[in-house]
Amino acid sequence: MSNKFRNQEANAHGHGYLPGLAIDAVIFGFHDNQLKVLLLTYKNTGLFALPGGFVHDTEDVNEAARRVLFDRTGLTNIFLDQFYVFGDKSRHDTAPLKAIMAVRGVTPPDDHWLLKRFVSVGYYALVDFTKAIPTPDSISDSCDWFGLDNLPELMQDHNLIIKKALETLQANLDQKLIGFNLLTDDFTMGDLQSLYETILNKKLIRAAFQRKILGLGILERTAKKWTGGAHKAPYLYRFISEK
Amino acid sequence: MSNKFRNQEANAHGHGYLPGLAIDAVIFGFHDNQLKVLLLTYKNTGLFALPGGFVHDTEDVNEAARRVLFDRTGLTNIFLDQFYVFGDKSRHDTAPLKAIMAVRGVTPPDDHWLLKRFVSVGYYALVDFTKAIPTPDSISDSCDWFGLDNLPELMQDHNLIIKKALETLQANLDQKLIGFNLLTDDFTMGDLQSLYETILNKKLIRAAFQRKILGLGILERTAKKWTGGAHKAPYLYRFISEK
DNA sequence: TCAAAAGTGTTTCCCTTACACCCATGA
DNA sequence: TCATGGGTGTAAGGGAAACACTTTTGA
C-alpha cells in the first residue's frame, strides 16, 4: 500500500481503478552485506507498509506494478515478477487505513472503496541499491530501506508478504540467475558470493562458488582491478547481457 | 470461466462476489499416456472454456478455487496451486459472454458486472483421472477431458493459461514431487515413467529413472504384482504419505 | 616479513549416464 | 523357446566438496 491515496480520498468510489484489487511490491536491495526492502512510513501513525498501488482501468496489472516500482525508485527495466496472490478474507482490516486518513484529517464514509475488501497481487523486484532513489508517495512521509533482519511490524499481512517474497527469491536464485540484478554493474566475486550467502542464509565454499559461477559463462572479467585492501586485488566482473 | 452464472444472470451487479476477480482452473489428468485437461463446452456457441468461478465475499480466494475444483470433479484434498495472475487489459472481451447468454435467451444490460473487465487468478490442479467425475455447471452442457495435444480453440486467453500452467507443471515436477497426484494409488514404475515422459515431453532412461525415483525414498512396494502381459510382472508402488 | 583475500590446481566423492545382464511371463 | 518388459549390477563421466598451494597487497 502506498500511492494508493493520491486523489483517491476525494474519489470515494474508486472510479478509474479496478475495484478490490491492489498491488504490493517487495523491492529488494543489497547493501552492507544485508538484504533490504523498501518501506513506507505513515506520519503520526507508527504504521509501516510495503509500496503498493492500484490498477488503472487503462493498464495491465503488470504495467501497474512497473509504475509502482518506478514511482518509488525512479527505476525502469528492472527485474520484477509476480509471486503470489494474497486473497484471504482475514486480510480485510480497515483500522490502519482509517488511522492513516484520520491523521490527514479525513474521515471516510463507511462505504469508501478503500475500506472494502482487497485482494493483493504480490510482486518482488531486485534493484541496484546505489541507483534507486527512494521516494515517498503523497501520503507517506518517508520511503526508506529497512534491513530484512530488523523489520518493523508492518501493516496488515505485509510481513507475511515479505516472507513469501524472500522464499521465492531463494528458490529462484540459482534457477533464474536473478541475483545479479541486486549488484552494481561491476562487482567482485566476493561481492557476489556475499550476496548469495545473505540471500540463502548459509555459508558457501569459496572455490566451489567461483568455479560454479564462472562455469555458467555469463560473466566477463573487466580487466580492471580493485584497490584498497591489504591483500591481493580481486578482479571485477560484469554480467554479460544477451549476445 | 464456468459456474460463473449460476444465479448471476439475475444478479446484474454481482452482489456477494468480489468484483472484477475470477478464478480459472487448469485441471490436469493422465490417461492413455496422454495429459488431459478438463474443459467446459457451451451449447450452441461452439465455445470452450476452462472451469472457473468467482470469489464469494465470505471466502478466501484459495477456498474459492477449491470450491471450483470440487464442483467440477467431486474431489477434495487435491493438489491445487496458484501459478499466475492474468491481468492484461486486452483480456477484456465481452463477445463470448454475450454469446453464451444470448443462447440462453438473456440479453444482459451493458453495465452487467460480468461484462466488465476481469482479472483472473490461474490455478492448476493434478487429479486422479479415474476418480474425478467431470460435472458441467448450470450453463455449460458438458464437462470433458481433452487431450493437451488436440485442444480446441478456447475462449479468451484460456489457451495461453493452459500453456503457462503446463510450463509451471514441468518446472515443478521434480522439485515438488507433484507428479504422483496424477496417478492412481498403486502404479508401476512404467506408469510413472510414462507420466514423466509425457509431461516433460522427452524420453527418460529407464534404469536411471527407476533408481532416481526409488532413491527419493518416497515409494513403497506393495508386494502385489500386476498380471496380463507377456513379460515379467512389474511391482506395484505406492506413494508414502508423510510419516 | 606477515597476514589476509583472491585465484587456481588436485583429489575425492557422489550422482547420473550408459550399457549390460538376468528374471518372469505368455504367446 | 522366444520376444518383451521389468529389475538390478557395473563401469564411465561430470560436477560439487574438501583441501592445498600460489599470488598480490598493505601494514
Of B208, B204, B206, B210, the C-alpha closest to B237 is B210
Tell whether B67 and B137 lie within a shared domain: yes
State pLDDT tens for residues A12-27. 788 999 999 999 999 9
Q: Which residue stretches of chain A have pLDDT < 50?
A: 1-3, 6, 243
User: What strands lie across the sheet with A186-187, from one edge to the other?
Assistant: A186-187, A235-239, A219-225
What pLDDT is stored for residue A226 in this prediction?
A: 61
**B69, B85, A6, A8 alpha-carbon torsion, rounded to 10°:** -30
Of A84, A4, A1, A83, the C-alpha closest to A48 is A1
Q: Tell which of B171, B193, B212 closes a domain.
A: B171
Determine contact, residues A119/A85, Cβ cutoff 8 Å: yes
Backbone angles phi, psi at A96, to 5 degrees: -60, -40
What pLDDT is stored for residue B124 in this prediction?
A: 98
Residue B93 burial (CB count, 10 A) = 13
Of A82, A108, A75, the C-alpha closest to A181 is A75
Conformation bin of residue B90: beta by default, left when phi > 0, alpha when psi is -120 to 50: alpha
State pLDDT tens for residues B181-238. 999 999 999 999 999 999 999 999 999 999 999 988 889 888 666 666 777 788 899 9
Report the gap between the CA of A162 and the closest CA in chain B (Å): 18
Max CA separation in chain A (angstroms): 66
What pLDDT is stored for residue A2 in this prediction?
A: 43
Q: Which nucleotide is nearest to B221 (CA to C1')?
A: D7
Question: Does residue B177 belong to any structural domain of this protein?
Answer: no
Query: Strand C contacts (CB < 7 A) among A residues 112-171?
Result: none
Q: Tell which of A171, A193, A212 closes a domain.
A: A171
Tell whether B40 and B136 lie within a shared domain: yes
Q: A166 lies in which domain range?
A: 5-171
Distance CA B240, CA B243 (A): 8
| CATH number of residue B92's parent domain | 3.90.79.10
What pLDDT is stored for residue B225 in this prediction?
A: 66
Tell whether B22 and B136 lie within a shared domain: yes
What pLDDT is stored for residue A3 in this prediction?
A: 45
SS (H, E, C) B138-175: CCCCEEEEEEHHHCCCCCCCHHHHHHHHHHHHHHHHHH
What pLDDT is stored for residue A243 in this prediction?
A: 42
The residues that bridge with A150 in the sheet, in sequence order, are none
| CATH number of residue A235's parent domain | 1.10.10.10
3-state helix, strand, coil in chain A (%, to 5): 30, 30, 40
What is the residue whose three cell numbers read 474459492?
A: B64
Sign, CA dihedral B205-B207-B210-B215, equals negative
- B211/D4 CA-to-C1' distance in Å: 21
Residue A27 burial (CB count, 10 A) = 27
What pLDDT is stored for residue A8 in this prediction?
A: 52
Determine contact, residues B162/B148, Cβ cutoff 8 Å: yes
Tell whether B124 and B11 lie within a shared domain: yes
A20 near B CB under 8 A = yes
Report the gap between the CA of A34 and the closest CA in chain B (Å): 28
What pLDDT is stored for residue B207 in this prediction?
A: 92
What pLDDT is stored for residue B164 in this prediction?
A: 98
Determine contact, residues B41/B141, Cβ cutoff 8 Å: yes
Q: Find the CB nearest B18 among A20, A59, A121.
A: A20
Query: Strand C contacts (CB < 7 A) among A residues 224-243?
Result: 229-235
Q: Which residue stretches of chain B have pLDDT < 70?
A: 1-10, 223-228, 242-243
Query: Strand C contacts (CB < 7 A) among B residues 87-116?
Result: none
* CA A100 to each of CA A41, A158, B206: distance values in angstroms, whole numbers, following the listed order: 10, 16, 62
Distance CA B239, CA B224 (A): 15
Q: Tell which of B116, B149, B171 closes a domain.
A: B171
Distance CA B155, CA B43 (A): 14
- B231/D3 CA-to-C1' distance in Å: 9
Tell whether A78 and A138 lie within a shared domain: yes
What pLDDT is stored for residue A223 in this prediction?
A: 66
What pLDDT is stored for residue B27 in this prediction?
A: 98
Tell whether A209 and A108 lie within a shared domain: no
State pLDDT tens for residues A150-178. 999 999 999 999 999 999 999 999 888 89
Tell whether B147 and B126 lie within a shared domain: yes
pTM, to two decimals: 0.93
Q: Find the CB nearest A87 among B19, B60, B117.
A: B60
- Domain count across chain A: 2
Of A169, A170, A134, A132, the C-alpha closest to A50 is A134
